[in-house]
Amino acid sequence: MRDKSIFTPWISLAPALTVILVMLGASLFYAIAESLGFISVIGQGDISFSAYRATLAADSEFWVSLGFSLWISITSTFISSVIALALAVWLSSRNKESDTLALNWNLAFPHLVFAIALLLFLSQSGLFARWAASLGLIAAPDQFPILVRDRFGIGIILSYIGKEVPFLTLILLSVLRSQSIRYDVVAENLGASHWQRLRYVTIPQVLPALLAGDLLVFGFIFSSYEVPALLGVGYPRALPVLALRFFLDPDLRARSEGMVISLIITLIVILVAVISLRIGERQE
């Protein structure tokens, strides 16, 4: 083939790499700097860990939000996985393109829009409340249970489930549709019943992809802002919401704390990503 020196590939990679690395690098630099009080919008200060101490203090709202975010992320991911698994197994028996189309359709909806739709459905004056009223189950809006903008994040969890189930289902379906039909036949031929095939053949096949998908989904939910901002309440707040509120506060100290929280979120997400990579490598 053509003889090119080893430097050439990197020249082609340079534009994109530079853009990404410079922006990410600078962003990271300023994030850390601000968290340390060193650099801020106004001017320079001294390096101080006070923001870190304040955030990680025992009575800080950080811990409450951390717990709340973990609750939302783990619950949403878990429930979505179970539903997605059942859905994928059910749909894999039929190879209909309309299924994938319908699932892809859902993917087109941004998370924000889905959350808004949920708001319109489930709020106390929303569609379901109106149906309940016209059926005579309730008399006034405030008799309808609070499902969105509630203290337990039910609306938030439902919103994420509604978006992540199709996403995970599509991942699982692509695994199931590639080869598994034959393995299923082979297993049946060797004497396995329907449930045995599910347990010994189908699920082991999709487990790696499901795990990878779950970690991806978890990381995304944990660090996402829009949905908990829209469907959450003042207390407890999800971690990203807390971070942003602090960051937009005119008080410099609050800004630094917001940065700290944001960096912690990033750290956790990166950790999850690394775990996922390690698991992926072990599969090989």
Contacts (CB under 8 A) with another protein, residues 118-137: 119-121, 125, 127, 129-131, 133-134
Q: Which is nearer to another protein, 141 or 152 (CB)?
A: 141
Amino acid letter at 270? I
Span from 51-59, 61-69, 71-79, 186-194 in contact with another protein (CB under 8 A): 186-194
Contact 147, 162 (CB under 8 A): no
Burial class (CB in 10 A: 0-12, 13-18, 19+), 261: buried
Q: Does residue 17 belong to the site contacting another protein (CB under 8 A)? A: yes
Q: Which residues contact 241 (CB under 8 A, 6 or more apart)?
A: 65, 225, 228, 229, 232
Site for another protein in 132-161 (CB under 8 A): 133-134, 141
CB of 191 to another protein, least distance (A): 5
Return the residue of 95, 151, 174, 249 that touches another protein, per CB under 8 A: 174
Q: Using CB under 8 A as the criterion, what x/- string covers residues 85-124 for binding another protein?
A: --x--x-------xxxxxxxxxxxxx-xxx-xx-xxx---
Q: Which is nearer to another protein, 29 or 63 (CB)?
A: 29
What's the one-letter identity of residue 246? Answer: F
The reply on whether position 235 binds another protein by CB under 8 A is: no
**C-beta separation of 232 from 241 below 8 A:** yes
Site for another protein in 236-255 (CB under 8 A): 240, 243-244, 247
Residues from 26 through 45 that contact another protein (CB under 8 A): 26-31, 33-34, 39-41
From the CB of residue 110, how many other CB atoms can be counted at a distance below 10 Å?
11
Is 13 among the residues that bind another protein (CB under 8 A)? yes
Reading phi first (left if > 0) and then psi (alpha if -120 to 50, else beta), residue 192 is in beta
The span from the CA of 137 to the CA of 124, in Å, is 13
Tell me whether residue 58 or residue 220 sits nearer to another protein (CB atom): 220
Q: Are 200 and 253 in contact (CB under 8 A)?
A: no
